[in-house]
Amino acid sequence: MKFSKKKGEVKAEIVVNGAKKFEEYGFEGKEGEILVLPEKKRVYVGIEEINAENLKTATANIIKALKKYKFESVEITPPNTENEDLLIAFFEGFLLGDYEFDKYKSTKAKHPIKEICINSKRNFDKIIKEAKIRAKNINFVRDIINSMPDEITPAKLTAIAEEIAKENNLECKIYDENYLYENGYHAFYSVGKASANPPRLIHLAYKPKNAKRKIVLVGKGLCYDSGGLSLKPADYMVTMKSDKSGAVTVLGIIKAASELGLDVEIHAILGAAENMIGGNAYKPDDVLKAKNGKTIEVRNTDAEGRLVLADCLCYAEENIKDFDKIFDFATLTGACVVGLGEYTAGIMGFNKEQINEILKTSEKTGEHFAYLPFNKYLPKLLKSNVADICNIASSRYGGALTAGLFLSEFVENKEKWTHFDIAGPAYVEKEWGYNPFGASGFGVDSILTYLKSL
């Protein structure tokens, strides 16, 4: 899809808060309403107010609405604003709305709209270039998450990371199961040891000249999660290909940041593994030792993502010196989805100023995060009688918080650390906003905008 200054075959208009109505067609210009008049070559979409999420959704809906017609170009006037975030969102929406995952279908998706015609004398080249990079990488993340687990194994995810490193001039280090075992990453190693597809720790680094900050991004990459010996019910195993979303999100962020040429040094640590069953699977009652020496009592093998992340956090602290911030991303807990719903990610940590900065940034991109605060009563829920800490809490309540608190035990400077539980919005089995069925690529936009602000 390209952008130009030509005249389009059909004209599109975003209607704000009922500013234009077509009562004869039942269109009142309300949020989410779409009206296509093919004989008049017009399409209208309604939004409540102008913000990043609504603009992305509106332009995505224009593309979706026109897929059933034979028009190849659509003309639209961009918002009359100097706000760069709003304009990026406006152009992004077209590309995000055109996405369909059809890799395994014999009948492929149709993409009739080839050109977006901009009705304006302004020059949007810089904005469009950034929007394209962002959308391309969000769709890249969607593709990998949506791909079946038999295809995206830890080895395949490693190969994808290596290819990205080669294309974008990134440093790349890969560590196999032998390295994990021999160097004391036994929590991570144990999760993946029963799988026929052994685990991998992937470390990518983007090092621009004169970098203003050094940021570490850590991602949970469970290429498949059966629950291990604490086996999930069959219904809960479906969609577990999405348990690699944290690692793939981190991969998308560093790829996009390098293509945008951001002045921030970024290290991406991906913990890739499969949590499977077998004669050598790790067991409830096992006591595992993480790289930092802390021992972990395993009471549920389906609380495995935090074990992988624990050692990845330890690796980052040991191998990356003098970083400014460390963020981890994971589809970590069903509790977070119960508490916040499918469309909001939980954000946790000890540095409220840092968390508030990210919350403000997410408003600029139209992604939803909610702060979940720790308190002094939570640590005792992770107390173990046989080890330093337990991998699940003694209470069924507050599971997202206790999982986040568990991770904090593997970070030395807790003021630098922020945890993102993206279990809700990373993968949803229905369309929502500008997102399709399945993977959303959630988090890429907000973190890129945050990194730009540094």
Active site residues: 232, 306
Contact yes or no for 127/83 (Cβ under 8 A): no
Q: What's the rounded Cα separation, in Å, for the pair 349 and 342?
A: 21
Contact yes or no for 267/203 (Cβ under 8 A): yes
Long-range own/partner contacts, residues 144-148 (CB < 8 A, 24 or more apart): 144/244, 144/248, 144/251, 144/439, 145/241, 145/242, 145/244, 145/245, 145/248, 145/426, 145/427, 145/438, 145/439, 145/441, 146/101, 146/103, 146/241, 146/438, 146/439, 147/103, 147/241, 148/104, 148/241
130: which 2 tokens? 């950034």
Contact yes or no for 226/276 (Cβ under 8 A): yes
Contact yes or no for 170/258 (Cβ under 8 A): yes
143: which 2 tokens? 């593709």
Contact yes or no for 404/374 (Cβ under 8 A): yes
Q: How far is CA 129 from CA 5, 111, 132, 203, 451, in A?
A: 15, 21, 5, 28, 17
Q: How far is CA 399 from CA 230, 389, 392, 394, 438, in A?
A: 17, 15, 8, 10, 24
Q: Can you tell me whether residue 234 is helix, strand or coil?
A: helix
CB burial of residue 271 (10 Å; 0-12, 13-18, 19+): buried
CB burial of residue 24 (10 Å; 0-12, 13-18, 19+): exposed
**Order of strands, edge to edge, in the sheet holding 287-289?**
287-289, 295-297, 389-390
50: which 2 tokens? 């102008």
Over the Cα atoms of the chain, what is R_g? 23
173: which 2 tokens? 């280090």
Q: What's the rounded Cα separation, in Å, for the pair 424 and 436?
A: 14
Give the DSSP letter of residue 138.
H
φ, ψ of residue 243 to 5 degrees: the values are -75, 0
Distance linking the first and last C-alpha atoms of the chain: 31
**Order of strands, edge to edge, in the sheet holding 2-4?**
2-4, 115-118, 73-76, 10-16, 42-47, 34-37
